[in-house]
Amino acid sequence: MAEFSISTLKDDISRRMDGAIEVLHRELAGLRTGRAATSLLEPVTVSAYGSEMPMNQVGTIGVPEPRMLTVQVWDKGLVSAVEKAIRDSGLGLNPAADGQMVRVPIPALTEERRGELSKVAHKYAEEARVAVRNVRRHAMDELKESEKNGDISEDAYHGYTEEVQKVTDAHVTKIDEIIAHKETEIMQV
């Protein structure tokens, strides 16, 4: 009979749920409010060489002035792909190619733009919640399998599922706090 450890399971699901929260932090870092920052384009992927590549693997992202980003594309054939990726990213940016340089003016944040950014932030938060729930579902399946195999008792199974749910609830609460903070930041004029 395999030894089952709830602390090992809790550590594993906490680590994986923390990973979902780290991804959320990185994605939200890209939602800059009114000032140009290279992190704005880092989550954007470009269709290049038959796969999706991060923006920083096809060109150098720069900030020549407070309201302008540039992408110096290394391969001339990818300039239009970079333009399209930025335009389709949902960030509300309108890039313009200038040779191998793609210029991305950062528009001033209007009330409408703040609303759009808020929606994007909420979409990222929902993706993080889904990731956390998937980790929970996987852990619950593991517990059910352990109970079925006789590794843990029915009472232990119910106790462990409560523990897993507590960890899940704590991570979802953390996601809600992060998104509330980001929304406040976005809506500040």
What confidence score (pLDDT) does residue 1 get? 38
Look at residue 146 and tell me whether its pLDDT is greater than 50.
yes
Residues of CATH 3.30.1360.40 domain(s) within the chain? 35-105
Fold observed for domain 35-105? Gyrase A; domain 2 (3.30.1360)
Residue 44 CA: distances (Å) to CA of 15, 64, 86, 88, 157: 25, 19, 7, 9, 42
Cβ proximity of 69 and 62 under 8 Å: yes
Residues of CATH 1.10.132.20 domain(s) within the chain? 6-28+111-187
The pLDDT of 96-108, averaged and rounded, is 87
Integer Cα distance of 119 and 117 in angstroms = 5
More confident residue, 145 or 40: 145
The pLDDT of 62-67, averaged and rounded, is 85
Look at residue 2 and tell me whether its pLDDT is greater than 60.
no
Helix (H) or strand (E) holding 189: none
pLDDT above 90 coverage of the chain, percent: 37
The pLDDT of 134-155, averaged and rounded, is 90
Mean of per-residue pLDDT scores for the chain: 87
Look at residue 5 and tell me whether its pLDDT is greater than 80.
no
Q: Identify the CATH class of 6-28+111-187.
A: mainly alpha
More confident residue, 120 or 186: 120
What confidence score (pLDDT) does residue 34 get? 62
What sign does the CA torsion over 179, 185, 186, 187 have? positive
Closest among 67, 99, 65 to 82, alpha carbons compared: 99
Banded pLDDT at 35 (limits 50, 70, 90): low
- Most confident among 25-29, 48-52, 103-107, 165-169 (mean pLDDT): 165-169
What confidence score (pLDDT) does residue 189 get? 58
Banded pLDDT at 83 (limits 50, 70, 90): very high
